[in-house]
Every structure is written in structure tokens, then in C-alpha cells.
Amino acid sequence: MADRNAIDTDPGALPAAQEAITGKAKRGADAALLIGCAGCGQCVEDCPLQLPIPELMGLYNEYLASGSAESLADAYKSITSETGKPGNCGGCRVCEGSCKNRVKIADTVHKLSALFD
């Protein structure tokens, strides 16, 4: 006959369940942080540096999802190789005025520059 208390006496059972719940909550929190860029490109037209903003927002989302900047360094280099440099963004926020999704572009560009430049 099966031991009804088996789950209570299995030392791995409860921590594993807790870990699953914690992991789910963390993924939910990370998803809530993702940048809501629709990739329309309107902001790029208005940016005096013509920064590749949709690609940069996408890269930042990848960083949030993976938690690893190291694995994205080549992608950052490639995205910014033929454009203005995120490090030169002076925070004029003209881009944000043209974003219907209210993306915090300048802050994100600065975070990317701090991570990769």
C-alpha cells in the first residue's frame, strides 16, 4: 500500500515544489520588466543620432530574459557598428516624444551603453 506521507518524508519534494513556484514568479516579474517596443521605428527618424532604437530595445529585452550581457556583446557590436553610438546619447528624449508605447528609450539606451561600451 502506498505511503500517504511519502511526499512529506521525501527531502527533495518540498524544495523542488517551492523552487518551481519561485521560478514561475521570477519569470513573471522579468516579463513585466520587458520593454514594450513594437518596432515601428518612428523614434529612429526623430533621433538626431539615428540610433537603431528598436534593435537596441530588443537586445535589452534579451538581456532581461537571459540575465547575461556577455552572450549579447557581439550582437550589440553588430547592431551599433554602422550607426551612432548609444554612448553619445545625450538624453534629449525627442525619441520618447514620438513613441506611442511610452518606452523609456533614453534610460534603456544609457543602461545598454553602461553594459556594453
The contact set with ligand SF4 (CB under 6 A) reads: 37-43, 47-49, 51, 53-54, 57, 89-95, 98-99, 101, 103, 105-106, 109
Distances (CA, A) of 56 to 27, 33, 60, 101: 21, 15, 6, 15
Residue closer to ligand SF4 by CB (options 15, 36) is: 36
Residue closer to ligand SF4 by CB (options 35, 75) is: 35
Q: Nearest approach, Cβ of 13 to ligand SF4 (angstroms)? A: 45
Residue closer to ligand SF4 by CB (options 72, 103) is: 103
DSSP letters spanning 41-76? -HHHHH-TT---HHHHHHHHHHHHHH--SGGGHHHH
Q: Nearest approach, Cβ of 51 to ligand SF4 (angstroms)? A: 5
Phi/psi for 105 (5° steps) reads -65, -50
The residue with cell 520593454 is 35
Contact 68, 115 (CB under 8 A): no
Q: Nearest approach, Cβ of 8 to ligand SF4 (angstroms)? A: 51
Q: Nearest approach, Cβ of 44 to ligand SF4 (angstroms)? A: 7
